[in-house]
A and B are shown apart, each in its own frame.
Chain A
Amino acid sequence: MLAVERLSRHFGGLRALEDVSLAVRDGEILGLIGPNGAGKTTLFNVVTGFLRPTAGRVRFRGEEITGWPAERVTARGIARTFQNIRLFREMPAVENVVVGEHVRTRATLLDALAHTRTHRAEESAGRERARALLALVGLAGRETTPAGALAYGDQRRLEIARALATRPALLLLDEPAAGMNAAETEALMALIRRLRDSLGLTVLLIEHDMRLVMGVCDRVAVLNFGRKIAEGSREEVRRDPAVIDAYLGRRAERRAPAAQGAGDVVLAVEDLRAGYGRGDVLHGVSLEVRAGQIATLIGANGAGKSTLLRTISGLLRPRTGQIRLGQVAIGGAAPDRIVGLGVAHVPEGRQILARLTVEENLRAGAYARRDRNIEHDLAALGERFPVLRERRAQPAGTLSGGEQQMLAIARGLMARPRLLMLDEPSLGLAPQFVDRVFEVVLGVQAGGVPVLLVEQNAQRALETAHWGYVLESGRIATQGAAMRLLGDAAVQRAYLG
């Protein structure tokens, strides 16, 4: 049905997809998995016409569709859903689905103005079909609710109904189970099976939820760093050492972390609930970071790790629960206040200020400080990170990924924080920079600043930290001494199902 041949997509120096070849057979359900940033959504975007490939071809039902615009691809019979739901939020649910009918109907503006039979017939038939599709995905009765007001899981299902309205032969689902609880995921699995069995659809899906992938897919393909590293049956892939490495990280030389720190509690989170929109992403999370400690929070994508950090640093308001820094309650406070109290958050993707120079970025890190030692700290960090001192007058955007990560961490340290929180610092970095990052984390802790490290690279994170928390679907599933968790099957299960 779909053949992807040696597909590459580069963004400047970034090789989002590199020489990927994949075939989706008629009537199968193929799962596409891989760590964050592996290129899965990029693949979807190229296949569905949102991006043009740098090299390679895409063939659909024997026809070459490489480089076709999205509208044309949909008209040919490929439909998709989006990773960050893209519904028409103000429209009622049924209206969203009717929009999907657009490509299969013909009524023109003149038809509508003259209220011709074509117009009336298509309108009523369209609405009938839309209602039937809503019922199929389990949303009967919610037709008039504005899409933006639906619960998160319902929104995902609505997106599927809308895609189905275009009457595709191939359906691409991008993280359809994200944000769903166990019961909803079961229902989704049944729906996907029904789509294939009753409606004869072929399905290609991206997912992080291994339960779903292993439960519903006939075959699985794995991407990492833009390349396909495995393809085969569920069991084959699950046992493939390359896949396990990709998710959990390869074992490097064991470095003993600095002496066990068990000082006073610097950060305490109790029973925290938070989320975006209507649902909760965090369902009652509790954890602690102590002085002298590196605590790491690991878990699959979508588990809520970034959400937790954002709630602690004040970018997101908690719904219930407590957050305490030392003795001071900081839950719900404004970010600049929390930073002023000593929490430094190095966000996911580094987020350096690209057009400011390296030195200006560092000074910006010291914004919350009023003391006279800023120059001294700048010099000290220059010593510690020589590359930053060399490049101090250059715009930060010209630095490489690894250098930017160093800058982001140094910037965090400029605040002389009481706690440093790092969100996936090794993401997207070349292996030698990954090593460097974890060395730096050790250095930070040795210098007296406790660290809360959120990582997808569970292996390295657990090798570096003292204490580990495993977050699964917004709850702490396991915690314990990092050494102990290293061998724990529960960790592997959290990632690979």
Chain B
Amino acid sequence: MSALAALYAGYSSLILLAGVAALLALSVYVTLMAGQLSLGNAALAAIGGYTAAILTRDHHVPLWPAVLAAAAVATAAAVAIGIPALRLRGIYLALATLAFGEVVRAAALNLKITGGALGLINIPPLAGFWQVYGALAGAALFFYRLERSRVGRAFAAIREDEAAARAMGIKVTHYKVLAFAIAGGLAGVAGALAAHFAYVITPAQASFTEAVNILTFAVVGGTSTFVGPMAGGVLLTVLPEALRGLREERLLLDGAILMAVTIYCPNGISDPRLWRWRRARR
């Protein structure tokens, strides 16, 4: 047991980061479930982080109410972009969410309440292992139920063929906005929790690079089931660190992993077809 404790002590921030990455990956996943690509989730997470940090640091609100408030604000923002973006498809939607993300980042850079370029510091360290992984477990349960429900089926139908989904009586716009709302909530929670173990939050966290990172978690992990993005988030956070000895090569490896996985495992590493083949082999 003490070996585990020692392991945790040494790598605590990495483990927590991995948990947050998994949550963020899930937030991208839920919009992908409904066939929409969102590149604004880093910004949504930042909105959540800033909201929660301001509440806990300056107004002494306890952690969970602050996290809930953060989720609510992020959800509202997500719905605000989701609705106008409804008529957009594919890459155009992605670019619109990207534009939104940049607006948020620029706002964070400039507003006094967000501390400008330096961001907010001295955020009380209220989040630890149980908070982050508790939230993650809750999210996992949420997705488990969602995937087996009428709503989850509606998402999948929309993703596969929007016209056919409409022909089945599914109110497509309603569900697309719902997907965005859930994404906002998840991202908000992730951002809020991250702010509370990282001590700081900066505008850079709302950047395009971050958003793209989150996307790669989901895609590399595989998007056929919720386990994929979680695995992708954890893997792509932990692996580069584990290979930290090769510090200089880290970017190179990240890039090589991304390319290799996308080319050779187009459905991500959690692709059920991959695993079925391996089991048959034994």
Q: List the interface of chain A (C-beta within 8 A of B).
A: 48-50, 69-71, 74-75, 79-80, 82, 86-91, 95, 98-100, 102-103, 105, 107-109, 111-113, 115, 119, 122-123, 162-163, 165-166
Contact = CB atoms under 8 A, between A and B. Distances in A.
B249 interface: no
B241 interface: no
Which of A48, A99, A108 counts the most chain B CB atoms within 10 A? Answer: A99
Nearest to B142: A113
Contact of A70 (B153, B160, B161, B167): B167
Closest 8 CB pairs of A and B: A103-B169, A112-B149, A74-B169, A86-B164, A70-B166, A88-B160, A109-B151, A99-B157
A230 B178 CA distance: 48
A71 B174 CA distance: 11
A145 to B, nearest CB: 15
B22 to A, nearest CB: 19
B178 to A, nearest CB: 7
A69 B166 contact: yes
Where chain B touches its partner, the secondary structure class is: helix
Contacts of A99: 153-154, 156-157, 165, 168, 170
Nearest to B224: A90
B150 A105 contact: yes
Given A71-B169, A123-B150, A162-B168, 18 more contacts: A71-B171, A74-B166, A75-B169, A79-B167, A80-B167, A82-B167, A86-B167, A91-B156, A95-B153, A100-B168, A102-B170, A103-B168, A108-B151, A109-B149, A113-B149, A122-B150, A123-B148, A123-B149
Chain B interface size range? 20 to 34
Nearest to A148: B160
Contacts of B165: 99
B146 A112 contact: yes
Nearest to A82: B164
Contacts of B152: 112
Contacts of A165: 168
B163 A107 contact: no
Given A102-B154, A115-B145, A74 B160 contact: no
Contact of B149 (A71, A82, A86, A107): A107
A109 B167 contact: no
A234 B150 CA distance: 43
Contacts of B127: none
A362 to B, nearest CB: 33
Contacts of A108: 150-151
B172 interface: yes
Contacts of A75: 169
Contacts of A91: 156, 160
B168 A102 contact: yes
A491 to B, nearest CB: 37
21 contacts: A48-B167, A69-B166, A71-B171, A71-B172, A74-B167, A86-B161, A86-B164, A87-B161, A99-B157, A100-B168, A102-B150, A103-B168, A103-B169, A112-B146, A112-B148, A112-B151, A113-B145, A119-B150, A122-B150, A163-B167, A166-B169
Contacts of B172: 71
A98 B150 CA distance: 9
Contacts of B164: 82, 86-88
A50 B166 CA distance: 9
Given A88-B156, A91-B160, A102-B154, A74 B145 contact: no
Contacts of B169: 71, 74-75, 102-103, 166
A123 B172 CA distance: 21
A50 B160 contact: no
A88 B163 CA distance: 11
Contacts of A69: 166
Contacts of A115: 145
B146 A109 contact: yes
Nearest to B149: A112
A413 B167 CA distance: 44
B160 A89 contact: yes
B167 A112 contact: no
Interface string B50-74: 0000000000000000000000000
A102 B170 CA distance: 7
A309 to B, nearest CB: 28
Contacts of B151: 108-109, 112
Contact of A112 (B145, B156, B166, B178): B145
A50 to B, nearest CB: 7
Contacts of A71: 166, 169-172
Nearest to B150: A107
Which of B149, B150, B157, B160 counts the most chain A CB atoms within 10 A? Answer: B150
Interface string B169-188: 11110000010000000000
A80 B165 CA distance: 12
A119 B149 contact: yes
A214 to B, nearest CB: 28
Given A95-B153, A102-B154, A88 B161 contact: yes
Contacts of A74: 166-169
A70 B172 CA distance: 10
A183 to B, nearest CB: 28
Contacts of B153: 95, 98-99, 102
Nearest to A72: B169
Contacts of A80: 167
A48 B167 CA distance: 8
A111 to B, nearest CB: 8
A88 B158 CA distance: 9
A103 B170 contact: yes
B38 to A, nearest CB: 19
A88 B157 contact: yes
Contacts of B166: 49-50, 69-71, 74
A105 B149 CA distance: 11
A428 B169 CA distance: 33
